[in-house]
Amino acid sequence: MEAKQCQKNDLKYQKHFHEEYSIGLIDEGETQAWCDGVLWRVETGRMISFPPLILHACQPAESIKWKYKMLFIKPEWFAHLELPDIDRLQFPFLLEDGKNEACSKMLNCTMDAMSRSASPLEIETALIELVSTLVYKHASDLTHEPYGMLEQKYVKRIKEYIHAHYTDRITLEILEHVAGISRYHLIRLYKKSTHLPPHAYQNLLRINHAKKELKNGRPIAEIAVDTGFYDQSHFAKAFARIVGTTPQTYAMSVLDKRNFLQSSHPVSNVHY
């Protein structure tokens, strides 16, 4: 997968095609998008997508600030999804208002995860949720899982693996082999059971472990590495999103509490 952001006003694309599946979102301005003989008007906030090898061209409106983002996804990646009705993506389209809003949110989540170098597990999860939202017109269109009473077995396998390896670099490919189901289905089942995607559950385990280590007075940089975060900055941001404060502030508050307890219960030496 590749991503790009562009805000060059005089940029015009001649007729061309990509080998990848491309999904775009207009953040500012508007463009005339020609695709396979049809001209589309794409305004601010609208998404448009092009299947591989489909000839298209874009010409932004003149004298208007132009800003957009685009994802390019290799076709072979879709083969691993086992996503029902994936063939619905094989034509260019603009989206209806409600679906456009939902897909825009998921596209921004994917781009955000990529820009901050999130884990592969988080990035691919966001991408799968974007693609499934693109495929289905309504949430009710999603097919029921075929596993019935076996659902919890798959979830248990995934959960046990994450608990045993939460400081490691976990990918959806690994979880796919552990659970024995496709990555698309395992995300749906895991969220249905735990109300969290696997990467968010893994981060909770990492942060809870980090809190214990901070109470033990270990350096923050060491904890960040040991808990599997990319660097100290990524650790601090993830910690603040879950705990509501930075690791440094949390560590200091623990130390202050200990000092308070010690001062509240002075011990004197008594000689007999």
* 215-246 pLDDT per residue, tens: 999 999 999 999 998 889 989 999 999 999 99
Do 47 and 77 belong together in one domain? yes
Examine residue 272 and state whether it is found in any structural domain, yes or no.
Answer: no
Do 153 and 70 belong together in one domain? no
pTM to 2 decimals?
A: 0.80
Give the C-alpha separation, 227 to 210, whole Å. Answer: 7
What count of other Cβ atoms lies within 10 Å of the Cβ of residue 36?
Answer: 12
Examine residue 120 and state whether it is found in any structural domain, yes or no.
Answer: yes
Examine residue 254 and state whether it is found in any structural domain, yes or no.
Answer: yes
Q: Is the dihedral of CA 155, 157, 162, 163 positive or negative?
A: positive
Do 20 and 72 belong together in one domain? yes
Do 115 and 129 belong together in one domain? yes
- How many Å is the maximal CA-CA distance in the chain? 102
- pLDDT at position 127: 94
Examine residue 226 and state whether it is found in any structural domain, yes or no.
Answer: yes
Do 130 and 26 belong together in one domain? yes
Do 212 and 235 belong together in one domain? yes
For residue 104, the surrounding DSSP H or E stretch is: helix 97-115
- pLDDT at position 147: 46
Do 100 and 130 belong together in one domain? yes
Q: How many domains does the chain have?
A: 3
Cβ-based burial of 89 (10 A; exposed 0-12, middle 13-18, buried ≥19): buried
Domain extent for 190: 144-195
Is pLDDT larger for residue 36 or for residue 167?
Answer: 167
* C-alpha dihedral (232, 237, 243, 248), degrees to nearest 10: 40
Write the CB contacts of 132 (distance below 8 Å, at least 6 apart in sequence): 83, 142, 184
Do 183 and 106 belong together in one domain? no
- pLDDT at position 261: 46
Examine residue 228 and state whether it is found in any structural domain, yes or no.
Answer: yes
Do 93 and 153 belong together in one domain? no
Q: Which amino acid is at 232?
A: Q
Domain boundary among 174, 195, 216: 195
Q: Is the dihedral of CA 227, 229, 231, 233 positive or negative?
A: negative
Do 17 and 87 belong together in one domain? yes
